[in-house]
Structure 1
Amino acid sequence: MQSETDLGWCSEGTYVSYHGCLECTTGHFCPGNVSAPHKCPPGTFNFYTGRSSIGDCKPCSHGLISSEDRADCRPCPAGFSCHPGNSTLSACPKGQHSPEGVVLCLACPIGSVCPSGHPQKCDPGGEPDSERTGCVDCPPGFYSTPCTVRCVKCPSGPLPPL
């Protein structure tokens, strides 16, 4: 008499392998009699083994995207916009940023520049350009410090003695 594996048939929650019927892995489902596990769709996850239905793949909560292996969900990484439904990532364009867990890119904060999706301050003597994508030097007669948002006019009159 032949066993299930001799016939090439495996029950739900398992898949056919050269080594017999193997339990379906996390992030996947196995409806039975399949040669490889089916990966959960983007935007969903399954952290249990031995699951048999696409219904075992649960949607990620708001603000989270599925991990590459679909075994769990994770926050949208900083500097990216994320589409929760299909778990695609897109780098924020210059002049925009996003903190971790925020799925949309936001305007760069006032007084900062965002050349690559992360806000940063200009060095003293500079200020953000109009698009907040880079820093420009203060014009003659102006200055900036780490505490100023933009260049400030130098005070008039002679410099005090050192």
Structure 2
Amino acid sequence: MTAADSIGTLHAGTKQNIIPDSAELGISMRTYEPLVRERMLAAITRIVTGECEAAGSPRPPEIEVTFSVPALVNEPAVTAEFAALFTERFGAGRVGVGPQAAPSEDFGLWGTRAGCPSFFWFTGGGDPAAFRAAIAAGRMQDVHFNHSPFYAPVQDPTIQTGVEAMVAAARHALAR
């Protein structure tokens, strides 16, 4: 996967029988490479401008980038080091290094600006039994992650695991 986008908001009008004089569309766009990001933004601009022209809009659309961060890329050596630490702490069945994800986080800027290697990890928050059942059935669409309207984190063991992982990581990094 090289890019992903979603329409998160659409605001237009105040009543069913009144034609709105404006509409606002909020899009989340995530890419791994700056060139892909530029191409997606150009495509969105071209499509929205074309739709406005086709509809006879009296003015061109106003397109504004309100939030933008580069792709978050983990440092491979640091990721391997801490994956081993977490595996030792929590067990091999509870830790894994997944494929590159496209979170919309500013975390990737921290290590770059500080001049130090970094990595970003996820702590699962769903029901472990439901997660295992979805994997066994080949139905990952049944697992609801954060940002889903159906996401319902399980308080225990999520909070405890998150705190234990953070303390283990901090102790390990400070001991270096």
In which range does the TM-score fall when normalised by the shorter chain? under 0.3
Structure index of larger Rg: 1
Q: Relative to total residues, which structure has the larger helix share, 1 or 2?
A: 2
TM-score after normalising by structure 1:
0.20
TM-score after normalising by structure 2:
0.19
